[in-house]
Structure 1
């Protein structure tokens, strides 16, 4: 999932391009309130597919970068308070890395060694967990563009920015990227990142406030649990990797997690969920991903999502989406 705040500016930008934002929301089963209630959450796969589709259908290859310009640090909600009140860039990045899951469990930021081996340079990385959702070029440009936009606002100048790295090939003329980032942009890289001089990490913020930061961090820690610590996250990942290749049985998953099945059931119940509920959610994510991002025959989609046959897939998709698999595929792809 991802917070609805990630769609701030979406409606205005789509309308400027001559599109109907509500039509796109309906097509991707995203509730209209996502545009007005930024604290709500939406499926990140639907969110990202919608961005890619809007860019393609409205012929706006730099849609993600444009949307980044309409946003600021406040899209991160309470996490923004902790980041802004940090004393240095390094402390702000540590906080963002620790609590980015509050915005979306599938996204992460971090500080890593320079991929090009320069000791005086570090990489400020921006990643999406592809175990949770497919790669999206437009969403990646939105995220990295916002990362750059926020860093510029907090620091005042990114004179230490050496280059920008993107995993995909350019969607727009390269000049559009260099104009946006104010630096050299390289494509086809392993990880999205801003390569900056290491000294930038020590840059102090004028907005630093130790008390506000402490209160914000305490609130985040008390009200949000890191999904990485949940047993349900481990079960979900085991099922995501095995559904369609092996029978989805709680005994098998428990064995992989070095637990007794009854212990696993108790741990999941303590997290207000259950094995069958997680399995259904994983099958839903896989089925909808294959339906909306590939041209695979429905029988093959059914097998890869762990269903016994195409009929079982159709019944499940009707339950989830109130539509047939073919209708879901047509809805997402629109006129195409």
Structure 2
């Protein structure tokens, strides 16, 4: 059932913002969100924070598992009601200040990968040949299984986002689904306010072509330009320094996924050997950056929290407290306990 998504868990990641609303929805249905998350290999912290990088296939799996265990075939639709554009971070600012829906789609096609590597939203010709209509196609990368609950959630999210951007009714012609859902079609038609067709080639919303050029109210051109510049800087180009991106990726992976060079290379869409060469050209290495990020994170946890030592060791990707203590002696010439005690004395 849900485990077919887990076998691809090392292929792509998504920000944990994609799970917004999951905990509340599961609780409403009488389930245990943390138990479901752990069953699919997700850290419970992913349920309550936006910026952990987690396998998108594990997100698909936990939605499917919750739907099955809680006998809730429209789980994805329910979770979508608790999500909004803000979950996209800086991308949301660019979208909200886009002058038209066409610009919104440009933002999504260029920068959605910053939120979810394998997802895309594209504007395509109408699959039925109606020149007055375009299809907003939503889905995972080719070759990956189509998750029903995840696709329901994503399509409903896009629908609700458009409603907010163009002020409610926008002329949705139909919703295209590439599967036969277990939930009644009437549930979907109530959610979307439009006919729903199943067994189609891909998931899509069919909308009037004129919608793409409709001006969006409240757009701020300066904010849009600033947000797009920030997104471009985040994504970087082929010639941009890669060490800061590696540092950021390692920081996000710590405590959730083993911070190995292969995992970081996948995040940055480069080959591990290419990554090593580019880091060497910048007079550093993956091992050096990993050591620095671990050291900085450990000092932050020791001096700003009361976390137990074994928990800190786990969060920075070290096997146990003994390894953490040896690393601390190498970094600071003292033990973690002594460093915490000295910090308390200095600031107490």
TM-score range, shorter chain: 0.5 to 0.7
Tell me how large the CA RMSD over aligned residues is.
2.6
**Structure 2 residue 25 is the aligned partner of structure 1 residue 13:** yes
| Equivalent residue, structure 2, for 1:2 | 14
TM-superposition CA deviations, 1:11-38 (whole Å, max 9, x none):
1110111111110111112112112220
Please give the alpha-carbon distance, in whole angstroms, between the structure 2 residues aligned to 1:7 and 1:125: 21
Q: 1:10 to 1:203 in 2, by over 3 A?
A: same
| Equivalent residue, structure 1, for 2:91 | 79
Please give the alpha-carbon distance, in whole angstroms, between the structure 1 residues aligned to 2:182 and 2:286: 41
Residue pair 2:148, 2:181 contacting (<8 A) in 1 also: no
Please give the alpha-carbon distance, in whole angstroms, between the structure 2 residues aligned to 1:165 and 1:124: 10
TM-superposition CA deviations, 1:22-56 (whole Å, max 9, x none):
10111112112112220111101111011001001
SS at match of 1:167: coil
Question: Which aligned pairs between 1:38-53 and structure 2 lie closer than 5 A?
Answer: 38-53=50-65
Residue pair 2:163, 2:170 contacting (<8 A) in 1 also: no
Offset at residue 135 of structure 1 (A): 2.0
Please give the alpha-carbon distance, in whole angstroms, between the structure 2 residues aligned to 1:262 and 1:142: 37
| Equivalent residue, structure 2, for 1:111 | 123
Please give the alpha-carbon distance, in whole angstroms, between the structure 2 residues aligned to 1:15 and 1:98: 35
Residue pair 1:101, 1:226 contacting (<8 A) in 2 also: no
| Equivalent residue, structure 1, for 2:152 | 141
Q: 1:28 to 1:161 in 2, by over 3 A?
A: same
TM-superposition CA deviations, 1:123-172 (whole Å, max 9, x none):
011120144x4321100000001010111111113342111101111221
Please give the alpha-carbon distance, in whole angstroms, between the structure 2 residues aligned to 1:135 and 1:270: 40
SS at match of 1:161: coil
| Equivalent residue, structure 1, for 2:68 | 56
Offset at residue 262 of structure 1 (A): 8.2
Unaligned stretches of 5+ in structure 1?
230-258, 275-336
**Structure 2 residue 196 is the aligned partner of structure 1 residue 194:** no
TM-score (norm 1): 0.67
Residue pair 1:155, 1:205 contacting (<8 A) in 2 also: yes
| Equivalent residue, structure 2, for 1:23 | 35
Residue pair 2:80, 2:156 contacting (<8 A) in 1 also: yes
| Equivalent residue, structure 2, for 1:324 | none
Question: Which aligned pairs between 1:145-164 and structure 2 lie closer than 5 A?
Answer: 145-164=156-175
Given candidates 223, 227, 239, the residue that maps to 1:212 is 223
| Equivalent residue, structure 1, for 2:113 | 101
Please give the alpha-carbon distance, in whole angstroms, between the structure 1 residues aligned to 2:273 and 2:41: 36
TM-score (norm 2): 0.65
Residue pair 2:172, 2:206 contacting (<8 A) in 1 also: yes
Residue pair 1:45, 1:134 contacting (<8 A) in 2 also: no
> Which has more radius of gyration?
2
Please give the alpha-carbon distance, in whole angstroms, between the structure 2 residues aligned to 1:188 and 1:139: 16
| Equivalent residue, structure 2, for 1:120 | 132
